[in-house]
Amino acid sequence: MTNETPAASSYKSPHWDIFCVVVDNYGDIGVTWRLAKQLAAEYQIEINLWVDDLNSFSHILPELDKTLSQQQFFGVNIFKWNKPLDIPYRPGSVLIEAFACELPSQVLSTIDELHQESKTNFEQSINTASKPPVWLNLEYLSAEDWVDGCHGLPSMQASGINKHFYFPGFTSKSGGLICESDLFNQRDKWQSSPSNKLALFKKLGLIGIEANDIVISVFSYETLALTALCNYWANIEVQNNSEQTAIHALIPLGKSLASIESLISTPLNKIKAGQQFTVGNLTIHILPMTAQTQFDRLLWSCDFNIVRGEDSFLRAQWAAKPFIWHIYPQEDDYHLVKLQAFVNIYCLNLEDDAANAWSKTNFAFNQQESNVVEHWQQLICAQSALQQHAKHWPIDAKKDADLASRLVEFVKTS
């Protein structure tokens, strides 16, 4: 294949391009893949998704062939983003760089050529559809106040083209949140019968989980707070109708396991998906990697979810179950500022005792505090209020429009 790009105007078409650099394995590709699928399915937009790491991508899309330069799933064209590009870039009507990834030089030179053509045609009063795509930088999700003021702002590039900053967020002035149109209906149908979660657990090779057992999914970074909680779960007796209730922690291969290596006395490089370890009242199940749809159902099936990153953080909210958000650590503890911003909005309509317990548990987990167990105990006492709030929160958070619909409207008016 060649990386040469023919005249830009001869390739202009209505499709959208999304470029994604895979960072931290699954977060960035998780977000862009969900967005690409929704735009293709609900808006019949032809989407070209350019991804630099098909190996990591294949963990959430198992059908993906890591050796192919081009393939299609769910109506989305997936291109391997080699550097330089070995597939000709064909400019479309929209160009999205996800999370400030650096676009290939071929792409930048092509849209610059289109921009120069459109200027020339305008000056010569030539009627032509040749113009550069609407250029957007899809930013990370944040609940901070400044997001509303920055969402949609243009930034003039050296070529003279405007690039707009698109900020997902929790207010009507932001870019909204990724949420498929039928997601809540699917979730409610799934959660209406315990047989669905038990069937999923069996499919994932999770043995010994009963319908009334407590099931907690864990997808976190390494933290001593998780060590403390697992020790606590292993040594407590949870009373349910005067009978001890077993606790199951579902943990995938990866960073979370480093926190509990001492409990299971097995070297991390010896642990495989499908294994389970029983420590007192706690059974630790090692999860296989799952596709996105199956991951959603896993979150729907657990009593509590501990998640990290942007994609899992939002899907835990849509699961309508209580959760802890383990946010990626940043310099000068700025991640705690982001956490506080979300805590402020999430707790607005939550009764004081439950809000206090949920907030303190989240901060203790993120600061690796040993008193996370104390806060967890208070959290469990507020479980009823937390569950009721978790059920209503998705409706309030989505408001009147999701990210995809706001994005389509933004493009129309740009």
In a domain, 7, yes or no: no
Q: Model confidence over 239-254: pLDDT tens digits?
A: 444 466 899 999 998 8
The pLDDT mean for the chain works out to 91
pLDDT for the residue numbered 399: 84
Residue range of the domain that includes 166? 12-176+400-412
Whether residues 264 and 277 share a domain: the answer is yes
Same-domain check for residues 393 and 404: no
The pLDDT score that the predictor gives to residue 2 is 42
Residues 189 and 145 in one domain: no
Specify the number of domains making up the chain.
Answer: 2
Is 310 part of the annotated catalytic residue set? Answer: yes
Q: Are residues 216 and 320 in the same domain?
A: yes
Using DSSP bridges, classify how beta strands 94-98 and 70-73 pair: parallel, antiparallel or unpaired: unpaired
Residue 269 and residue 153 share a domain: no
Burial per residue of 54-76, b for 16 or more beta-carbon CB atoms within 10 angstroms, e otherwise: bebbbbbbeebeeeeeebeeeeb
28 part of the active site: yes
The predicted structure's pLDDT at residue 4: 46
What is the per-residue pLDDT for 237?
67
Same domain, 219 and 169: no
Do the domain assignments include residue 305?
yes
**Is 155 inside any structural domain?**
yes
Gap between the terminal Cα atoms of the chain? 34
pLDDT at 69 over 80: yes
pLDDT score, position 91:
93
Give the pLDDT confidence of 177-206 residue by residue, as tens digits. 999 999 999 999 999 999 999 999 999 999
Residues 207 and 274 in one domain: yes
> Do 224 and 354 share a domain, yes or no?
yes
The per-residue pLDDT for 246 is 93
Among 28, 97, 139, 311, the active-site one is: 28
Among the listed residues 52, 97, 139, 310, the single catalytic one is: 310
pLDDT band at 24; cut points 50, 70, 90: low
pLDDT of residue 115: 80
Higher pLDDT: 386 or 291? It is 386
In a domain, 2, yes or no: no
Q: Domain check: are 134 and 37 in the same one?
A: yes
Which CATH number covers residue 283? 3.40.50.2000
Q: Nearest-CA neighbor of 376 among 314, 337, 322?
A: 322
**Statement to judge: residues 252 and 145 lie in one domain:** no
Residue 5 forms part of a structural domain? no
**Mean pLDDT along residues 222-227:** 95
Same domain, 74 and 141: yes
> Which pLDDT tens digit goes with each residue over 113-152?
888 887 666 545 555 556 889 999 999 999 999 999 999 9
Q: How many residues does the chain have?
A: 414
**pTM for the predicted model, two decimal places:** 0.91
Does residue 283 fall inside a structural domain? Answer: yes
Neighbouring residues of 256: CB distance < 8 A, sequence distance ≥ 6: 218, 219, 220, 221, 222, 226
- Asked whether residue 97 is assigned to any structural domain, the reply reads yes
> What integer is the mean pLDDT of 286-290?
90
